[in-house]
Amino acid sequence: MALAREIYQALEDIVGKKNISEDIGVCESYRSIASQTSAHYGPFDHWTPLPQAVILPGSTEEVQNVVRICNKYKIQFKAGSTFYATMAYIGSDYAVQLDMRRMSKIEIDAKNQCAIIEPYAIAAVVQAEAMKVGLNLNIPGVGCSSSTLASTSGWAGFGPTSIFMGASGENLLSAEWVLPDGEVIKTGSAGAGAGWFCGEGPGPSFRSVFRGVTGVAGSMGVCTKIAVRLHPWPGPTFLPSDGVLPAYKAVLPDNFKCYTLCFPDWEGWTTAAAIIHENDVLYLGHRQYNMFGRNLKGAMIRILTDPEKQLCDLPELLEDPELQKQNESMKLEFQVVIAGMTKKDMEYKEKAIDEILKLSRGWKNEMMLEKDVHDWALLYLLRLGHKNLNYVLCGAYEGNFGMSSNLYVTTPLMEEASALKRKWEVEATAIAATGGDSEMGSISGIGGGGVTGWEYFTNFDAYDKDSIRGTKEFFDDTQRWMTEHGLGGDFSRWNTECRREDSYNYTQEEHDSFFVKMAQPHVMAYQWKVREAFNPNHLGGSYYRTLTPDKVPEGK
């Protein structure tokens, strides 16, 4: 069913002929299938629906007018910026897709350490512009190809630098938002034109409507501009990158150091992480390269730092005794970057790292100190520009388990979780055999520490239907394990409450049937009321989870 001509014409009048399409080829390329990206961003093996049209607005006014038309004709809409995640795609047949690509402005307020940005300003370019004036931003784990606006206002947004800079949500200052009914609001100080420096108030913050522990994943209107807090960058005005593709490396001054801190056991690991949470030492902290798996990480680092090597070299590398020694040395590890704001600051931080290792019985891995490897890791971690390395092994990956709790709960369970994954690697062939433990993630999911946000990388082949099926079975098993251990939803299931398996929106009845069982169902009942107040025509899809209030059981 195509849009009625008068609707299409109205939309075309808003954005111009060049910036709208209902061509089948164009619309087909605005569909997503999560097995090729990440299931925790949507359903696993069904394409999202075909949009009625793809619209490229160029300004807030254009977005507002498009949203008004959508309200007038009850057309669902969803805005996406970089289109990596399935959550950016629509969930019903009578819907249009907004592609925010034409809105990409960046304005840096160097003095007040913030960037005012539009949706298509990706983290890499915001960082590049910020570095020109000695600033940097928290780039979430998803990598620098992500829209900073989307990760900050619309989704989770923690990453390697969150220990120092805070997670993206913590860095959100004022925001401009086209509400689902077409009204435009500016939150905090920008509302009255005072500037973009504060996203809170006046009084209770309206930001509550679109940014909880995660953002609303495009389900409540369109965020068109935000201010994001920036942080110090004590380096050159651009990230100096050298080396032969793909082994690019950063040659930075001595006030930057990247170490892989290794520990004899999880207790030592936890001790070090806890001290880090309590002290201002790190610029960045992440368990990164274990994403390739406990058995493979050393070999993969050799491959990625040597332009001549390929994946077919893995078997030979895995037999290399020296590499095996290094791999064993960094069995339980995480990567850190320290950045000296001054010479003395660097000296203090170096000494502090040594002290932390002493207290935690740890050491620095030698291979990761080789100059080329060090410089490669430094660049990797600072820019997070290699994000599709997630897919390098098999073409597809999914994060699962998802240890979102505290250090002392999660680390004692790590070996058990790893053993479960290893069992699947050995006894089945659906997932890549990488060594069981492939846990990775930020040293802290929030600024200053306290919350972990770790996932296991599970690699499978999106072209191989048996591999996809087997991976789903593995996730069933990990969910069973997570439930047994009181750890909640498996990371791979994060969004199973947001879209149906067939990739369409849930009905209210379906949502009600899930959320009525919650320990504290008022959470979703209030979200229902919020949706009714701000999105009366329900045009955002079912990523916004709601429970009809009269379904809340008595006494809850």
C-alpha span between 290 and 261 (Å, rounded): 12
Task: State the nearest-atom distance from the C-beta of 484 to another protein, in Å.
Answer: 13
Q: Which of residues 338-357 bind another protein (CB under 8 A)?
A: 341-342, 344-345, 347-348, 351-352, 355-356
How many whole angstroms from its chain centre is CA 505?
Answer: 22
Task: State the nearest-atom distance from the C-beta of 388 to another protein, in Å.
Answer: 4
Binding to another protein by residue 119, rule CB under 8 A?
no
Mark 489-518 with x for binding to another protein (rule: CB under 8 A) and - for no binding.
Answer: ------------------------------
Identify whether the C-beta of residue 381 lies closer than 8 Å to the C-beta of residue 286: yes
C-alpha span between 134 and 128 (Å, rounded): 10
C-alpha span between 449 and 276 (Å, rounded): 8
Binding to another protein by residue 216, rule CB under 8 A?
yes
Q: Which of residues 120-149 bind another protein (CB under 8 A)?
A: 121-122, 124-126, 128-129, 132, 134, 143-145
Tell me whether residue 261 or residue 366 sits nearer to another protein (CB atom).
Answer: 261
Tell me whether strands 184-186 and 172-178 are parallel, antiparallel or unpaired. Answer: antiparallel
How many whole angstroms from its chain centre is CA 247?
Answer: 24
Task: State the nearest-atom distance from the C-beta of 549 to another protein, in Å.
Answer: 9
Looking at 5-13, 256-264, 328-336, 402-410, which segment touches another protein (CB under 8 A)? 402-410
Binding to another protein by residue 454, rule CB under 8 A?
no
Identify whether the C-beta of residue 21 lies closer than 8 Å to the C-beta of residue 3: no
Task: State the nearest-atom distance from the C-beta of 417 to another protein, in Å.
Answer: 16
Q: Which of these, 442, 408, 447, 159, lies nearest to 274 by C-alpha position?
A: 408
Q: Which of these, 151, 144, 150, 182, lies nearest to 388 by C-alpha position?
A: 144
DSSP-derived secondary structure for 396-438? EEEEEEEE-S-HHHHGGGHHHHHHHHHHHHHH-SSS--S-S--
Task: State the nearest-atom distance from the C-beta of 245 to another protein, in Å.
Answer: 4
Q: Which of residues 288-347 bind another protein (CB under 8 A)?
A: 296, 307, 310-315, 341-342, 344-345, 347
The binder of another protein chosen from 333, 375, 461, 490 (CB under 8 A): 461
Tell me whether residue 109 or residue 366 sits nearer to another protein (CB atom).
Answer: 109
Tell me whether residue 306 or residue 366 sits nearer to another protein (CB atom).
Answer: 306
C-alpha span between 233 and 113 (Å, rounded): 11
Q: Which of residues 407-446 bind another protein (CB under 8 A)?
A: 408-409, 425, 429-434, 445-446
Looking at 96-104, 261-269, 361-369, 499-507, which segment touches another protein (CB under 8 A)? 96-104
CA angle 513, 454, 138 (to 5 degrees): 105
C-alpha span between 332 and 272 (Å, rounded): 12
Tell me whether residue 41 or residue 263 sits nearer to another protein (CB atom).
Answer: 41
Looking at 3-11, 61-69, 162-170, 256-264, which segment touches another protein (CB under 8 A)? 162-170
Identify whether the C-beta of residue 87 lies closer than 8 Å to the C-beta of residue 497: no
Task: For residue 157, give both structure tokens.
Answer: 């947004």
Task: State the nearest-atom distance from the C-beta of 223 to another protein, in Å.
Answer: 13
Task: State the nearest-atom distance from the C-beta of 174 to another protein, in Å.
Answer: 10
Binding to another protein by residue 203, rule CB under 8 A?
yes
- Strand-pair partners of 122: 147
Tell me whether residue 368 or residue 382 sits nearer to another protein (CB atom).
Answer: 382
Tell me whether residue 255 or residue 366 sits nearer to another protein (CB atom).
Answer: 255
- Strand-pair partners of 455: 440
Q: Which residues contact 49 (CB under 8 A, 6 or more apart)?
A: 31, 90, 91, 92, 93, 95, 503, 504
Task: State the nearest-atom distance from the C-beta of 400 to another protein, in Å.
Answer: 15
Tell me whether residue 366 or residue 464 sits nearer to another protein (CB atom).
Answer: 464
Tell me whether residue 211 or residue 374 sits nearer to another protein (CB atom).
Answer: 211
The binder of another protein chosen from 256, 454, 460, 494 (CB under 8 A): 460
Q: Which of these, 187, 211, 206, lies nearest to 197 by C-alpha position?
A: 187
The binder of another protein chosen from 90, 116, 284, 379 (CB under 8 A): 379
Tell me whether residue 117 or residue 368 sits nearer to another protein (CB atom).
Answer: 117
Binding to another protein by residue 522, rule CB under 8 A?
yes
Task: For residue 454, give both structure tokens.
Answer: 């770790």
Phi and psi dihedrals of 296, rounded to 5?
Answer: -100, -15
The binder of another protein chosen from 95, 222, 524, 539 (CB under 8 A): 524
Binding to another protein by residue 378, rule CB under 8 A?
no
C-alpha span between 446 and 164 (Å, rounded): 9
Q: Which of residues 531-550 bind another protein (CB under 8 A)?
A: 533-534, 543-545
Looking at 66-74, 210-218, 257-265, 324-332, which segment touches another protein (CB under 8 A)? 210-218
Q: Which of residues 39-68 bind another protein (CB under 8 A)?
A: 54, 56
SS3 string, 24-89, reads HHHHHCCCCCHHHCCHHHCCCCCCCCCCCCEECCCCHHHHHHHHHHHHHHCCEEEEECCCCCHHHC
Tell me whether residue 341 or residue 419 sits nearer to another protein (CB atom).
Answer: 341
Task: State the nearest-atom distance from the C-beta of 74 to another protein, in Å.
Answer: 21
The binder of another protein chosen from 234, 306, 500, 537 (CB under 8 A): 234
Task: For residue 317, give both structure tokens.
Answer: 């590398």
Task: State the nearest-atom distance from the C-beta of 265 to another protein, in Å.
Answer: 18
Tell me whether residue 37 or residue 366 sits nearer to another protein (CB atom).
Answer: 37
Number of residues that bind another protein (CB under 8 A): 175
Cα separations in angstroms, 265 against 5, 117, 456: 66, 43, 18
Looking at 5-13, 272-280, 415-423, 502-510, which segment touches another protein (CB under 8 A)? 272-280
C-alpha span between 439 and 273 (Å, rounded): 15
